[in-house]
C-alpha cells in the first residue's frame, strides 16, 4: 500500500526584531501627545472626546467661559433649563371684584311756576280753588298758557264741581273729591279718587303719579275738610326706578293761604317746602262730621292723575 507523505510546513520569513531605537521613538511620540493635550486643555479648548481617553483627566466637560463657578463650600448650581423647556407658571386666580353698592341719589321734581297760584274766594271754595290751581299748573307746563286766577273762573268751576258731586261723595251737598276728579277729567286731564290705608302709602303714590304723568296731585288735608295741591317734592330716590323711597320735602299749593286757621297749622305761601312733621300735622285720615263714609273713614284720599 502506498502512503502519501504530509506536505511540508511552509514558514514565513522571521519578523524583524525591535531595536532600542524603535522603543525610544515610540516613547517620544507618546510624550509629545501628552504635552500637546495638556496645552490644549490649559487653553480651555480641545474636543470633549480627547479628555475621555487621556490618562489622568476627568470625563466631565470643563465649564465654558460664561459659566460662573460656584462659591467655595457650596454645591454647584444645577444648570437651568432652556426658556422654551420651562413650563409657564400657572397664574393665581384673581378673585372677582365685589361690586360696590350704589347709593340712590336724592330725586327732586317741581312743577310750580310763578303766577299759577290762586287763593280761594270764600271758605267753601277750597275744592274749586284747588282745581283751578291744578289747571293753571298743567296748562302752563304743558301748553305754555298764561294762568287764569280770576274769581269768575273759580265760581264757574265751583258750580260745575257741585253738579258732578254725588251723595256718596258728599253727604251735605257742596263739592266732593269725586266731583273734583270728574271736573279735571272733563277738562281733558284724566283723574280719579284713590284711597290709602296709611299716610306714607298715600304720599308715595302721589309722588309716583306726579313723576310718571308730570301733573299735580290733589290731597285731602285736615281730615278731609280741606284741599291741597302737590306740585313737587324731594325724595330719597327716584320713584320711577324704585318703590323704596321716602319723601323728605313736599311742595304744596294751599288755597287757604294767606288766611290763618284757628284749628289747623298755619298755611304756608305757595311752593314753600313742607317737611315730614308738617305733612303729619296737616294730612290726617278722613273723618267728616257729615259721615260715616264707607271706604273712606280712617283712610287717606288723593285725587290722582292717570297715565294717558
pLDDT digits (tens, 9 = 90+) for 34-93: 656 554 555 554 444 444 434 444 444 444 444 444 444 444 444 454 544 555 556 666
116-305 has which fold?
Cathepsin B; Chain A (3.90.70)
Alpha helices, DSSP H, located in 167-198: 177-186
What CA dihedral angle connects 80, 85, 86 and 89, to 10 degrees?
Answer: 180
* Cell digits of residue 208: 309716583
Q: Could you read off the pLDDT tens digit of each residue along the chain, which spans 308 residues? A: 444 444 444 444 444 555 555 556 555 566 666 656 554 555 554 444 444 434 444 444 444 444 444 444 444 444 454 544 555 556 666 666 666 556 679 999 999 999 999 999 999 999 999 999 999 999 999 999 999 999 999 999 999 999 999 999 999 999 999 999 999 999 999 999 999 999 999 999 999 999 999 999 999 999 999 999 999 999 999 999 999 999 999 999 999 999 999 999 999 999 999 999 999 999 999 999 999 999 999 999 999 999 98
Burial level of 210, CB count in 10 A (0-12/13-18/19+)?
buried
Q: Give φ, ψ of 111 to 5 degrees.
A: -90, -5
- Is-above-0.75 flag for pTM? no
What backbone phi and psi angles, to 5 degrees, belong to 96? -65, 135
CA dihedral 133, 139, 141, 145 (to 10 degrees): -110
Amino acid at each position: 500500500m502506498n502512503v502519501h507523505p504530509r506536505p511540508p510546513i511552509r514558514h514565513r520569513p522571521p519578523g524583524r526584531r525591535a531595536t532600542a531605537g524603535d522603543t525610544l521613538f515610540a516613547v517620544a511620540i507618546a510624550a509629545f501627545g501628552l504635552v500637546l493635550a495638556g496645552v490644549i486643555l490649559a487653553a480651555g479648548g480641545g474636543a470633549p472626546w480627547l479628555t475621555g481617553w487621556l490618562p489622568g483627566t476627568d470625563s466631565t466637560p470643563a465649564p465654558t467661559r460664561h459659566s460662573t463657578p460656584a462659591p467655595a463650600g457650596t454645591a454647584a448650581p444645577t444648570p437651568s433649563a432652556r426658556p422654551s423647556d420651562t413650563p409657564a407658571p400657572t397664574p393665581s386666580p384673581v378673585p372677582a371684584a365685589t361690586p360696590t353698592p350704589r347709593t340712590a341719589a336724592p330725586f327732586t321734581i317741581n312743577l310750580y311756576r310763578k303766577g299759577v297760584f290762586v287763593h280761594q274766594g270764600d271758605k267753601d271754595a277750597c275744592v274749586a280753588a284747588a282745581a283751578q290751581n291744578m289747571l293753571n299748573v298743567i296748562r302752563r307746563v304743558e301748553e305754555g298758557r298764561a294762568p287764569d286766577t280770576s274769581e269768575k273762573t273759580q265760581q264757574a268751576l265751583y258750580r260745575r264741581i257741585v253738579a258732578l258731586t254725588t251723595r256718596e261723595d258728599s253727604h251735605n251737598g257742596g263739592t266732593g273729591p269725586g266731583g273734583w276728579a270728574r271736573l279735571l277729567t272733563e277738562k281733558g286731564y284724566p283723574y280719579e279718587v284713590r284711597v290709602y290705608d296709611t299716610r306714607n302709602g298715600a304720599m308715595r303714590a302721589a309722588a309716583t303719579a306726579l313723576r310718571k304723568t308730570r301733573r299735580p296731585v290733589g290731597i285731602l288735608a285736615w281730615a278731609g275738610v280741606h284741599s291741597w295741591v302737590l306740585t313737587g317734592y324731594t325724595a330719597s330716590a327716584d320713584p320711577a326706578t324704585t318703590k323704596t323711597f321716602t319723601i323728605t320735602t313736599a311742595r304744596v299749593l294751599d288755597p287757604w293761604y294767606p288766611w290763618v286757621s284757628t284749628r289747623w297749622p298755619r298755611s304756608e305761601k305757595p311752593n314753600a317746602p313742607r317737611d315730614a312733621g308738617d305733612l303729619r300735622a296737616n294730612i290726617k285720615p278722613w273723618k267728616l262730621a257729615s259721615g260715616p263714609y264707607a271706604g273712606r273713614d280712617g283712610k287717606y284720599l288723593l285725587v290722582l292723575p292717570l297715565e294717558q
